[in-house]
């Protein structure tokens, strides 16, 4: 243990992402020559180290160590995963008519153990803002992986707000308690604009004032608790909303129905240029055997 009892904070010098907090002094030249930062993907060959003795930092030590060892969160669709490096602390929005299918794949991938290529989350938390999610749609995917269906369904925690104010209460005030209780690495807010766009009495200014603290809360959870936050939009987002909503995400997927059974998927992140991928329906719905 460090004699001064100081917690050493190792951060990526490229993106300032926290790599690990520990009492031990780590020689990065020996053990990280081929390690990548889970946030930006750069090699951890040069690190900045700061120290802290605050009790708050010490209390977060075990949480950060556990979450920083998590593997990537994958859709298990090679065409998407090869260009989208989704991992701890990321915030991704998924837009379009196939957003539900992609979210369902992330749910099952999150619950898979890391030894089987999953994310190793004890549970997945879903805030069903559209009141239209059906966790039993995940059963088919779980069955393709050979998972215990009852066990999987028990680990999917769903909350359904029925007003925009209930949604704000869940996302801002209740979510931290739920994350701690259920030990979840993945948080999903499905069809977040449904309640706003389907209530004619909710004007844009009021909607924006309610959505902004929700977005602030999402950014905070991803940075502090190292959760992956997934927010879905089942339809195209009106331009007024998109201007301030999309700036809160560092990963982006848009799906558009194409000819016959083909779907166009636009994948984007701040590090990568936009990629256009064409998928067949079976690639969305089936887990391909490796």
Strands 7-12 and 47-52 come out as antiparallel
Three-state DSSP class for 219?
helix
Q: Would you state the pLDDT for residue 117?
A: 81
| CA-closest candidate to residue 187, choices 165, 218, 213 | 218
Q: What is the DSSP annotation of 108-150?
A: HHHHS-GGGTS---SEEEEEETTS---GGGHHHHHHHHT--HH
Domains of the chain as residue ranges with CATH: 7-68 (no CATH), 78-285 (3.40.50.300)
| CA-closest candidate to residue 217, choices 269, 270, 167 | 167
Question: Beta-strand (E) ranges in the chain?
Answer: 7-12, 18-22, 47-52, 91-96, 123-128, 156-159, 184-190, 228-233, 251-257, 262-269, 275-280
Please list the residues that pair with 117 across neighbouring strands. Answer: none
- Residue 123 CA: distances (Å) to CA of 109, 165, 268, 284: 11, 25, 27, 23
| CA-closest candidate to residue 161, choices 126, 201, 129 | 129
In this structure, what token pair is assigned to residue 19?
A: 């790599």
Give dist(CA 271, CA 250) in Å, integer: 9
From first to last of its 290 residues, the chain has per-residue pLDDT tens of 444 445 566 677 667 766 666 655 655 554 444 456 666 666 655 444 444 443 444 334 344 444 444 568 999 999 999 888 888 889 999 999 899 999 999 999 999 988 888 898 999 999 999 987 778 789 999 999 999 999 999 999 999 999 999 999 999 999 888 988 998 999 999 999 999 999 999 999 999 999 999 999 988 888 777 789 999 999 889 989 998 899 899 999 999 987 777 889 999 876 667 899 999 988 998 887 65
Angle between helices 138-145 and 99-111 (to 10 degrees): 40
The total of other beta-carbon atoms located within 10 Å of residue 59's CB is 9
The total of other beta-carbon atoms located within 10 Å of residue 111's CB is 25
Q: Would you state the pLDDT for residue 22?
A: 60
Contacts of 150 (CB under 8 A, 6+ apart): none
- H-helix or E-strand containing 106? helix 99-111
What's the whole-model pTM score?
A: 0.76
Please list the residues that pair with 50 across neighbouring strands. Answer: 9
Q: Within 13 Å and on the Cβ side, how many CA atoms surround 167?
A: 26
Structure-token match 């050979």, residue found = 146
């Amino acid at each position: 243990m460090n004699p001064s009892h100081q917690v050493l904070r190792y951060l990526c010098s490229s993106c300032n992402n926290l790599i690990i907090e520990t009492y031990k002094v780590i020689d990065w030249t020996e053990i990280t020559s081929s390690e990548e930062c889970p946030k930006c993907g750069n090699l951890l060959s040069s690190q900045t180290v700061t120290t802290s003795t605050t009790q708050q930092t010490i209390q977060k030590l075990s949480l950060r160590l556990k979450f920083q060892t998590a593997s990537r969160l994958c859709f298990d669709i090679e065409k998407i995963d090869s260009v989208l490096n989704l991992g701890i602390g990321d915030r991704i929005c998924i837009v379009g008519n196939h957003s539900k299918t992609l979210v369902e794949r992330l749910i099952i991938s999150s619950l898979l153990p890391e030894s089987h290529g999953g994310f190793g989350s004890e549970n997945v938390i879903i805030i069903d803002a559209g009141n239209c999610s059906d966790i039993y749609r995940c059963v088919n995917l779980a069955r393709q992986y050979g998972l215990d269906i009852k066990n999987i369904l028990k680990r999917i925690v769903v909350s359904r707000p029925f007003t925009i104010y209930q949604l704000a209460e869940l996302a801002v005030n209740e979510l931290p308690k739920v994350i701690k209780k259920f030990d979840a690495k993945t948080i999903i807010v499905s069809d977040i604009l449904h309640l706003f766009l389907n209530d004619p009495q909710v004007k844009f200014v009021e909607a924006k004032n309610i959505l902004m603290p929700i977005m602030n809360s999402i950014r905070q959870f991803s940075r502090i608790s190292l959760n992956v936050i997934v927010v879905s939009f089942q339809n195209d987002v009106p331009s007024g909303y998109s201007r301030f909503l999309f700036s809160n995400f560092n990963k982006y997927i848009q799906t558009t129905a194409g000819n016959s059974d083909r779907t166009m998927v636009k994948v984007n992140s701040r590090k990568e240029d936009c990629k256009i991928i064409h998928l067949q329906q079976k690639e969305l719905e089936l887990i391909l055997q490796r």
